[in-house]
Amino acid sequence: MVVVMEPGASPETIEVVSERLAAQGFQPHLIHGVSRIVIAAVGEHRAADTSGLENLPGVEKVVPIMKPYKLASREVRGEDSVVKAGRVAVGGGRSVVVMAGPCAVESREQLFMAARVVKRAGATILRGGAFKPRTSPYSFQGLAEKGLQLLAEAAAWAGLATVSEVIDQESLDMAKDYVDILQIGARNMQNFRLLRAAGRSGKPVLLKRGLSATIEEWLMAAEYIMSEGNEQVILCERGIRTFERLTRNTLDLSAVSLVKILSHLPVVVDPSHATGDRRLIGPMSKAALAAGADGLLIEVHPDPAQALCDGQQSLNPEQFTALMQDLQAITLVTGRKLGSLPEAGKGIKAAG
Ligand code: PEP
Ligand code: MN
């Protein structure tokens, strides 16, 4: 249930309600809205005695949450939440954020070139995997800590925030000192220990939809992170596995529009992994923004033919720059702006 406090309710009244909920076996989570505080009471469903709560001072009303996911639900928070990563804000409906970069960090030269290209084209977050969950154990597995160091250096040089995947507790502990956003990949969407650890890390988390996860399972995975007190979750639709073989996955754009209704969390779309085909990235990016996505995650490589990972779905610098120009028009039509204008004096420095 949620306990909606009156506008301007005092800290003491909030404390009394929280204590009452805790005594009844609920975990109280405070949610700060624009004009009032809402206390989400989560916990195992039981026949708790909630009578009397409505009569406590400062309480406006008590509303049951019908969905199995609670903290992730719009029932708990009506307004869109905004996740802050470095200087970049994701969600909130006013801007579209583009996260771009190579599938994997391969070398200093490759990453700095990618950082320059994506920054100049208007992206605000640099992606690059340092731990790659590959289907084959013989494929390139990533540069691990060296990759994270390069990502942090290239992003600082270009003036970008960063996102990179973690695959277990060890990689999470390492990555949290280097990156702005921890990515949990499709293959780990139901790794509940990892979800809880990401929740405890206090860092923003980009949670990809599992290969065959339902929308509800995806939102329950977000709930795991949030139940640890971390509200900074960005959902990422990256295609699901269907019977179709001509695309790598099937991009489920209806999920994007539906999740925007069901949840207050920002939703971004990854057209690269969703299609596996660079020719489809432009059309699917435009469709994603029209469907209401708050941003995009796009693979860009200085020389896709030489990529150690996912070259066939990576855009080259010219293709990415042209796409960003196209996306300007569609963002304007949807009443938003693309990326954020570089702050004065915060452009790319001369060397790197
Ligand atoms: C990635 O973004 O590098 C990745 C591995 O994606 P996914 O988990 O969606 O397959
Ligand atoms: Mn990839």
The tokens of 307 are what?
Answer: 């990529």
Whether residue 87 lies inside any domain: the answer is: yes
The total domain count for the chain is: 2
Residue pair 114/302 in contact by the 8 Å Cβ criterion:
yes
The tokens of 47 are what?
Answer: 């026949």
Q: Does residue 51 sit in the same domain as residue 191?
A: no
C-beta atoms surrounding 102 within 10 Å:
29
186: Cβ below 6 Å to ligand 1?
yes
Q: Does residue 246 sit in the same domain as residue 322?
A: yes
Residue pair 38/48 in contact by the 8 Å Cβ criterion:
no
What CATH number has the domain bearing residue 46?
A: 3.30.70.1140
Going by C-alpha positions, the residue among 164, 87, 111 that lies closest to residue 339 is 87
Going by C-alpha positions, the residue among 314, 320, 301, 318 that lies closest to residue 109 is 301
Cα–Cα dist 159/266, whole Å: 23
Q: Does residue 115 sit in the same domain as residue 168?
A: yes
Q: Does residue 58 sit in the same domain as residue 115?
A: no
Cα–Cα dist 295/55, whole Å: 43
Q: Does residue 224 sit in the same domain as residue 297?
A: yes
Q: Does residue 174 sit in the same domain as residue 276?
A: yes
pLDDT band at 341 (very low <50, low <70, confident <90, very high): very low
> Has residue 345 got a pLDDT over 70?
no
Q: Does residue 151 sit in the same domain as residue 295?
A: yes
Closest protein CA for atom 5 of ligand 1: 185
Cα–Cα dist 115/121, whole Å: 10
Partnered with residue 89 across adjacent β-strands are 84
Which bound ligand lies closest to the C-alpha atom of 308?
2
- Coil/strand/helix, residue 65: coil
Backbone angles phi, psi at 234, to 5 degrees: -115, 130
Cα–Cα dist 323/286, whole Å: 9
CA of 114 to the centre of ligand 2 (A): 14
What CATH number has the domain bearing residue 96?
A: 3.20.20.70
Across the chain, what does the average pLDDT equal? 94
pLDDT of residue 46: 62
CA of 327 to the centre of ligand 1 (A): 23
CA of 269 to the centre of ligand 2 (A): 14
248: Cβ below 6 Å to ligand 1?
no
273: Cβ below 6 Å to ligand 1?
yes
Going by C-alpha positions, the residue among 235, 233, 237, 234 that lies closest to residue 253 is 237
Q: Does residue 244 sit in the same domain as residue 182?
A: yes
Amino acid of residue 164: S
Q: Does residue 45 sit in the same domain as residue 89?
A: no
pLDDT band at 339 (very low <50, low <70, confident <90, very high): confident
C-beta atoms surrounding 110 within 10 Å:
22
Mean pLDDT computed over 267-275: 98
pLDDT of residue 34: 83
Partnered with residue 153 across adjacent β-strands are none
**Ligand 1 atom closest to Cα of residue 270:** 9
pLDDT of residue 299: 98
Structural domain that includes position 49 = 2-63
Residue pair 271/250 in contact by the 8 Å Cβ criterion:
no
pLDDT band at 35 (very low <50, low <70, confident <90, very high): confident
DSSP 300-312: B-SSGGG-SS-GG
Whether residue 68 lies inside any domain: the answer is: no
Note the pLDDT tens digit of each residue in 222-242.
999 999 999 999 999 999 999
166: Cβ below 6 Å to ligand 1?
no
For residue 18, CA distances in Å to 2, 28, 29, 229 come to 11, 6, 8, 15
The CA radius of gyration of the chain, in Å to the nearest whole number, is: 21
pLDDT band at 40 (very low <50, low <70, confident <90, very high): very high
Residue pair 231/71 in contact by the 8 Å Cβ criterion:
yes
Q: Does residue 56 sit in the same domain as residue 110?
A: no
Whether residue 75 lies inside any domain: the answer is: no
The answer to which of 44-53, 255-264, 281-290 has the lowest mean pLDDT is: 44-53
Note the pLDDT tens digit of each residue in 102-122.
999 999 999 999 999 999 999
Choice from 140, 182, 208 to test ligand 1 binding pocket (greatest atom count within 8 A of CB): 208
